[in-house]
Each structure stands twice: as structure tokens, then as C-alpha cells.
Amino acid sequence: MSEPTPARTQQSAQSALRLVDLRETPLDVGEVVAALDDDASGGLTLFVGRVRDHDDGQGVLGLDYTAHPSALDRLREVCEKVAADFDVHALAAVHRVGTLAIGDVAVIVATSSAHRGTSFDASRALIDTLKAEVPIWKHQRFSDGSEEWVGSP
């Protein structure tokens, strides 16, 4: 994994943000890829997180995502930090909220840069930091009738 680049200016980091949102409607991979379109970018790395049918050996029927009112601002801050730390040309992060079914897309993050290595590293940093720091909580419903909150305070 390559090291982050020296800090970029706040303005250049903000200009790299092409799409940052929380949505109750289905997410579109094509929209995210189109938002990062740039002839100077040789690499675009995309991560799509989907709702799976199991967790820790239990069957999952579905889940709900709930976001704190500050979540969108925090998501934007995380995106700006990744854009400042890595030499990316463009960056996108979109997360679903509300009720999702098995197979639904829950989150999409993507970065583009001149080279693939930078995009891979920036995208990994983006999804990992988003999951750790953005106040979005998951309420899972299991097939045995139990339920669980994940990531809630």
C-alpha cells in the first residue's frame, strides 16, 4: 500500500468531490462512474457494498440504515480528508438509508487518479474511514426472529 501524498489545499481537495450523498432511493453504479469521468485519470476504483443474506452465521432477512442528522456533513469531511491525503482527481461516496433487502446496494465509493495504485489505496481508505467515522447505523433482522443494531452508540 502506498503512502498518502503530501496534503493538498482545502480547495483542491473539495474540487475532487464529485458526488457525496445519503439517499433513500436505490444507488446507481453508472451515476457514480459518470461523476468521476476524467480524461486525465488512468485508474478508477469502485467499491460496491451490498446487503448479504448472512452475518456471523445467522441468516439475514433485511436491514434498515439510519443516519444521524450530521452524517452527510461527516461523510463530506471524510471525503475531503481522503482527497487531501491521496493524489486523486475525483472522488464519490453515496450511502443508502432506509429499508434495504438482500442484494440491494448499500454503499458505493469510488476514486479516480492518474494511476491504479493511488485509486485502490484511496478507495480503501475512503470505505474504511466512512464505516468507522460516519454516524450511519445498521439494524439487521435475522431469520430466527432476532435483530441487532450495528454501529450505534
Residue extents of the structural domains in the chain: 10-150
pTM listed for this prediction: 0.90
What was the pLDDT predicted at 14? 74
pLDDT band at 9 (very low <50, low <70, confident <90, very high): low
71-90 pLDDT, tens digit per residue, is 999 999 999 999 999 999 99
Q: Given a cut of 60, is residue 5 above it in pLDDT?
A: no
Give the CATH number of domain 10-150. 3.90.1170.40
**Amino acid of residue 6:** P
Write the DSSP string, 42-98. Answer: SEEEEEEEE--SEETTEEEEEEEEEE-TTHHHHHHHHHHHHHHHS--SEEEEEEE-E
The pLDDT-based confidence of 108 (bands split at 50, 70, 90) is: very high
Instruction: Please give the order of strands across the beta sheet that includes 43-50.
Output: 17-23, 90-96, 105-113, 43-50
Cα–Cα distances in Å, from 100 out to 18, 26, 74? 25, 9, 22
Round the average pLDDT of the chain to a whole number and report it.
92
7 pLDDT more than 80: no
Backbone angles phi, psi at 69, to 5 degrees: -55, -25
